[in-house]
Structure 1
Amino acid sequence: MTTRPGRLAVVHPDAATVASATAARLLLLLLDGQATHRPLHVGLTGGTVGIRTLREVATSPLRDAVDWTGVHLWWGDERFLPTGHPDRNETQAREALLEALPIPAGNIHAMPAADAPGIATPEDSAEAYATELGSFAAEHEPGDDAGPAVPTFDVLLLGMGPDGHVASLFPGHEALTVVDRTVVGVHGSPKPPPERVSLTWPVIEAALEVWLVVAGADKAEAAARGLAGDDIVSTPAAGALGRRRTLWLLDVEAASQVPSAD
């Protein structure tokens, strides 16, 4: 069994600082990573703090130090809605950051929208995205545990809902048990819209680093459960563990129920 590093909580004063600090961490990770390997693969998240983080990246003086031609951007989940819909994570990310970046269009890997050619269901989108991920899959030496057919994510950013969900993996939902695919169509989401597309556990667990970006008092109880290693059926965020590092980037309110290290 592979041993993974434990969860590390970093607490910031407020949501604005969480976003600005996470943006700085991300840019420094990209700069350091480009000194050793290319391309770099990053999984983006939506949500209020996730999109605010992207806005902070867009305005950071470090932004232009990154060679964006060597960065590939992906998503952990997406709402199954038409292209350009304001609720799509892709739409919000483009407005917050991507339109300002000198990044090749082919390096932006959005989950297929509900009106994309040949896409009629969340399953269609999931299958197409799985194929896209597979085309960038990391190579493995003979005898190594090959893992899922996905690129090696240098970092996967995830938000968390008040119920403890990450990506579109909700407590008690059948999508939690999917391990034979890298991407799954989600129906009956308890959070609108009901149809979504999400990465599955094998992909999340294959990321080198997983960062959970969480702010707000309504997330406090779930954050405490997740950091304590609760069962993923009740708190999916507890299962979000990177191979090298797992960071919980919290504001004071979200961390208010986390026991002190003292």
Structure 2
Amino acid sequence: MTNERRVLVHPDKSTLAGAVAARFITKVLDLLDVQETVHVVLTGGSMGGAVLEAVRSSPAHKSVDWQRVHFWWGDERWVPSGDDDRNDLQSREALLDALQLPEEHIHPFPASDSGLSLDEAADAYATELAAYGAEGLPHPVFDIVFLGVGPDGHIASLFPHRSGIQVIDRPVIPVRESPKPPPERLSLTRPVINSAQRVWLVLAGADKASALGLALAGASRDEVPVAGIKGRRRTVFFVDQDAAAEVPDALIARDY
């Protein structure tokens, strides 16, 4: 098993979203040729939504048997169901609703109006993950985990100088006093993310350049959480030209 870390640079955000969408469709098709189901973790943010919209817009997406794909999320804001701030709503509107998936294949985090406390919601999502556990893990073997990266280097809702990035003894954590609103959230932990076969990080904009450069230079995961992320088989940073400003040429891959 190889473990590769690559940076792939695209000219602009639109080209970036289209390229990631095309690779995603191709990879899911390849995986479904050799396994019964595929588990994917989605992310929010502008690029997370743009990639899903590009998947929906591509005629090639119709060749995928989406009925065999499960969708999860890396983190979620602790707001009511149907709130515009929820990552799962964004994903549904961008792509999932168009796929007509079995509802049991869509695995959103509990919402703040679910009747659960934040801690109970974290436990509930851990239980949901465990129901699909494989290879002795308390969660599925994720085939692809999508992540965005904040200007401060945070991934999911694991922020710099916070304890969340250090948690290794549970798959899901409640997040309080987030430096980015809303203050309460739910998040997968680093071991769950790093157990994925492939981690695909999608970054765009000059405000992401410093975090990316620091991560690739070996910064501490406590200072720059994305520095602590690495998939089992492959870790790919899909970036636009602006986000790549501080990446050494030697680290930029010429092909996938």
Q: TM-score range by the shorter chain?
A: over 0.9
Q: Distance in 2 between matches of 1:255 and 1:124?
A: 40
Q: Distance in 2 between matches of 1:16 and 1:125?
A: 35
Provide the residue aligned with 1:195 in structure 2: 184
Contact preservation (8 Å) 1:4, 1:242:
no
Superposition map of 1:39-188 within 5 A: 39-116=37-114, 118-121=115-118, 123-138=119-134, 140=135, 146=136, 148-188=137-177
Provide the residue aligned with 1:210 in structure 2: 199
The Cα offsets for residues 31-90 of structure 1, whole Å up to 9 and x where unpaired, read as 000000021000000100110101011111111111111000000000010000001001
**Structure 2 counterpart SS, 1:64:** helix
Displacement of 1:222 after TM fit?
A: 0.3
Displacement of 1:125 after TM fit?
A: 1.4
Contact preservation (8 Å) 2:4, 2:233:
no
Provide the residue aligned with 2:8 in structure 1: 10
Displacement of 1:4 after TM fit?
A: 6.5
Contact preservation (8 Å) 1:51, 1:93:
yes
Q: Which of 203-212 and 93-102 deviates more?
A: 93-102
TM-score under structure 1 length normalisation: 0.93
Displacement of 1:229 after TM fit?
A: 2.5
**Structure 2 counterpart SS, 1:97:** helix
Q: Which runs of 4+ in 1 moved over 4 A?
A: none
**Structure 1 counterpart SS, 2:201:** strand
Aligned partner (choices 223, 236, 256) of residue 212 of structure 2: 223
Runs of 5+ consecutive residues of structure 2 not aligned to the other structure: 252-256
Q: Distance in 2 between matches of 1:119 and 1:53?
A: 32
**Structure 2 counterpart SS, 1:42:** strand
2:124 partner amino acid: A
Please provide the CA RMSD for this pair: 1.2
